Structure 1
Amino acid sequence: MLNNFMAGPQLSLRVATVLTGLLECIAFSGLIFGWTSLVFVLKSDHYFEDLCEQPVNQTSNTTRHSECSTQDSKFSLIFTLASFSNNFMTFPLGYIFDRLGTTVARLIAIFLYSGATLLVAVSSAGTAPMLFAAFPMLAVGGILFLLTNLQVGNLFGKHRSTIITLYNGAFDSSSAIFLIIKLLYERGLTLQISFFILCTFSIWHLIRTFFLMPRGHIPFPLPSNYSYGATSFLSIDCSRGADRSQETKDEEVRKEKVELSQEANAPSPDVQQETARTDKSDPRSFRGCVLSWRFFWHLVWLSSMQLWHYLFIGTLNPMLNSLARGNQHLVSTYTNAFAITQLFGVLCAPWNGFLLDGIKKKFQQEARKKGFPESMADLHSTFPSLTVTSLLCLSFSICATIPILKLQYFTFILQVISRSFLYGGNAAFITLAFPSQHFGKIYGTAMMLSALISLLQFPIFIFIKGPLQGDPTYVNIGLILFTLLSFVQPFLLSRQWRHQEKQV
């Protein structure tokens, strides 16, 4: 009787959770990656302009903003710090999320988001250094919003990868919010008022935290009687102790099923030994996960492509100024075009999820016929996604290297598709390749370590502006070669699958 009574509210709650989560990711989580649009506004408001030898606003409209490398380096450094914080802080925040649950993690995110938007709202050209604190805080708060929302995919088991990639695509699309701020600025709404408005949305985040999200975690697989958020107050076992006890029991049952399934499916001792060798990261141990070759090559896959995307976003404004020869009308047009393409990230990312979910079914059926664990099939199903993502990034990097202004429209399209596949595929791979109880920590570790590589974007920018005198050709060629390392990960997965087939 109670279960039937709860079914309606729980279904409505789950729909509300997934839709509001999508809205939260698309409007608030990845704002920092709309940096190119915001830099245009910050330059118009004369941030860091006092560092220029000749004030840029005194020149003609065709050269405005284009002749101050010191100002550009400040903006590049802010974005470098923000993008680094976005990744590096994911590990400690992932640990907090795993240990203390969703509510605590989201309260931290709301504090950082509110503080960041308030700092920008009260800033001015005279207090420009405040931006060095504001945007890293905004980046960290945004990635924590995304991290706590990824678990919503557990509510929809068969479509788990699709929802994860959809949310990552929404994260990419949220960079268009700074385009909206730019367009409103050009129509008279000040930067400060826009950020005050963003700050007020903290109230909405608080409401969602307490009524539409769990206090702990959404388990996977999902128990039939699972309740959370508003409906948990109507549930008999809604207390914290009961929730923890139920989650523990479900986890124990899940482990028993996995062990029995593996024993039933193991065709021979040789296959069992091979599975143990190739699945060293399966262990319940977090340390075993991060020290595995699987994790290392996934980190290379992520870092090699992420560096390209961060460098491209952080240096797009100076690049457009150079290609447009200082024509600010053209720079504004191409900046708007880039930001508009980012909106389509939410439409591009689910295709990666459809690819993963569809191919996973095929490989699971094949694994049952050949008699080896479905976990191997799940892992190998990521091969097409990883390969396509690497090809997309390689194509994007080649186009970005060619110094033709009109070609950049096509570069923008490849960039948003590549980036959507990159982060959606990253999260989906981690959920399939490693134990779910370590998801937050492993995801955070991957992002943290890749952040160390992303720090190279600032010295690369200085190197281009200095010794190379603004010509990035040789650096771009070197980065293209670095991107080729991303193909190692899918190659090893394919080889592992073929080796497994030979053992059967």
Structure 2
Amino acid sequence: MINTRVKLLQVVSASLWCLGSAGIIFGFAAFKIILIQEGVYSDRCVIDQTVPSKEACIAQDLKLNDMFTISAALTNLMALPVGYILDRVGPRISGILGSICLFLGSCFFIMANSWYPTIDPYLMGYIMFAMGGPFVFISCFQLANSFPKRSGTILAVLTGSFDTSSALFLGYRLIYQSLPHGLSLRKFFTIYLIVPVFILICQCTFMPHESYKTMGTIAKIAEEGLDENGQLIEGDDGTNIVSDDSERASLINNNAIETGRNMIGGDSTLHRRKSVLETYMENKLEHKTGGMFGILHGEDAWSQIKSPWFILMFIFASIAMVRINYFIATVRSQEEYLLGDIELAIKLNGIFDVLLPVGGVISIPFIGMILDHLKPLTTLSILSIMSVTIGIFGLIPRSFAANLFGIILLVLYRPFYYTVVSDYCSKVFGFDTFGTVYGLLTCLCGLFTLTQSLMDKWTHTTFQMNPTPINIVLLVITTVSCTSLIGYINHQLNIAGPKKNNPNENDNVHSEYNTL
């Protein structure tokens, strides 16, 4: 039995390495400035006196943006294989694989001058960071159940570490610009080797060899407050299920009888009967979510994936992901064109570098409040309104305030988007297929984000650095996808009708088991 101190050490260590590795590639806007200063891909530029020596030419800018596009897509693509590997070999091996990827990524940048242009060490290094991040991050999710009653808090800390990890390259940029001769890529990534070595040492010593719980179980705990068998989690007296003492006692006692029946009957976990507490919570959640909770629970993964519930969410999520990553890659050039002022564009770029990690952390408690108190359809409507609003503000020229407001909305929107999509999958598709469905959704969205390279090329060439045509197209598609998703959900909920069993009317649930 692992003692509390070891479990606490595991959570703290995982939070630290997620802070330094989980999503560092999303700090690209800050890192890109250093890459340009260091002359990365400058050999692609034709010598032109009209182009400042410290500004990227079109070919160099496109190549740098492609480096981010490919890596960001790969990060999302890794969700499915990492989940599969995690289920087969456990979190320790997954974490070690992640540390190896991070170590190799650092080595590519350290040895870049020796290898370029024989191979592309910059692209390979960034790809390694993109692969290593999901390995070390997703393998930490199971730690949420090391302290079952604090699973939500632990998940919030890990998610916050992921969001804040993009600040790594912001810190590097600030140090680089404060030193007279900068801090070379070679020196920085030599220091960074501390991170993968730290992860490797932790994984080989005190980190768990097997997962505490599966991703589906963690999602179930987060939604219902019950474990994978429909029982109260360790140390819980049921106050989070229902406040009335007598009703809580009745539910728990009847739940014990149901558990005994399941054991006598020899039912497997996969085909067990639902416990009384589980039935009660599902009825309660169905009412709370306006009928959305459990709408596809119990169906196989393939039936869920080919349903409009999955397809429409995929369209919406993929467009949102493209817009987020496209802006991260092109924030400087977009703002420079819209504002018509290089200095103001640099200023907004710097603000964005700071707000991206900070916004993710600040928004966590507010996202939790929204998910806890509003119905999923309302939450999706808020997310959709934010999506359209961000698109509109991204079209306003010559206004620093409008573009700043759009950036603020975007950094708040990014963690909100990821959380809402995950919450949607757990509520609609259920916990048994959560890992497969959510992993596939993220993976497909990652593939779709590769289209931003084409958008970037059109912006640089066809539209002469004008981002407006692409942003108008993205805004229109966003509006259509939002309207289609929300319209379909609303239609299906109206067809399903009002909830049959009010969660406050559980006498039938009680009486059924009082007869035992």
SS where residue 112 of structure 2 aligns?
coil
Q: Distance in 1 between matches of 2:426 and 2:11?
A: 18
Q: Distance in 2 between matches of 1:224 and 1:45?
A: 53
Q: Deviations over 1:343-387 (max 9, x none)?
A: 22122134222332445xxxxxxxxxxxxxxxxxxxxx4333333
Q: Distance in 2 between matches of 1:266 and 1:32?
A: 39
CA distance 1:440–1:88, change in 2 (3 Å): same
Q: Which amino acid aligns with 1:47?
A: V
Give the TM-score normalised by the residue count of structure 1: 0.77
Check whether the contact 1:323–1:403 (CA below 8 A) recurs between aligned residues. yes
- Post-superposition offset of 1:325: 5.2
Match of 2:110 among 100, 121, 130: 121
Match of 2:439 among 441, 444, 464: 444
Structure 1: state its 5+ residue gaps.
1-5, 227-248, 360-380
Task: Give the match for residue 400 of structure 1.
Answer: 394
Structure 2 residue 351 is matched with structure 1 residue 356: no
Task: Give the match for residue 341 of structure 1.
Answer: 355
Q: Which amino acid aligns with 1:76?
A: N
Q: Distance in 2 between matches of 1:470 and 1:115?
A: 35
Match of 1:413 among 387, 399, 408: 408
Check whether the contact 1:102–1:216 (CA below 8 A) recurs between aligned residues. yes
Task: Give the match for residue 89 of structure 2.
Answer: 100
Task: Give the match for residue 11 of structure 1.
Answer: 4
Q: Distance in 1 between matches of 2:267 and 2:21?
A: 33
Task: Give the match for residue 377 of structure 1.
Answer: none
Task: Give the match for residue 332 of structure 2.
Answer: 317
Task: Give the match for residue 255 of structure 2.
Answer: none
SS where residue 468 of structure 1 aligns?
coil
Structure 2 residue 183 is matched with structure 1 residue 189: yes
- Post-superposition offset of 1:225: 7.5
Q: Deviations over 1:405-428 (max 9, x none)?
A: 623322221111000111122233
- Post-superposition offset of 1:93: 1.9
SS where residue 469 of structure 1 aligns?
coil
Show the 5 A alignment for 1:67-466.
Answer: 68-124=57-113, 127=116, 129-155=120-146, 157=148, 160=151, 163-164=154-155, 166-186=157-177, 187=179, 188-211=182-205, 213-219=207-213, 220=217, 221=227, 252=268, 256-258=272-274, 279-280=295-296, 282-283=298-299, 285-323=300-338, 327=342, 330-344=344-358, 345-359=360-374, 381-404=375-398, 406-407=400-401, 408-466=403-461
Q: Which amino acid aligns with 1:352?
A: I
Higher helix share: 1
Q: Distance in 2 between matches of 1:164 and 1:179?
A: 24
- Post-superposition offset of 1:81: 0.7
SS where residue 396 of structure 1 aligns?
helix
CA distance 1:225–1:153, change in 2 (3 Å): closer
In percent, how many aligned pairs have the same letter? 23
Give the TM-score normalised by the residue count of structure 2: 0.76
Task: Give the match for residue 22 of structure 1.
Answer: 15
SS where residue 502 of structure 1 aligns?
coil
SS where residue 272 of structure 2 aligns?
helix
CA distance 1:85–1:276, change in 2 (3 Å): closer
Check whether the contact 2:334–2:466 (CA below 8 A) recurs between aligned residues. no
Q: Distance in 2 between matches of 1:291 and 1:383?
A: 21
CA distance 1:31–1:471, change in 2 (3 Å): same
Q: Which amino acid aligns with 2:209?
A: R
The RMSD of aligned alpha carbons is 3.4
CA distance 1:265–1:118, change in 2 (3 Å): closer
Relative CO higher for 1 or 2, CA cutoff 8 Å, sep ≥ 6? 1
- Post-superposition offset of 1:112: 1.1
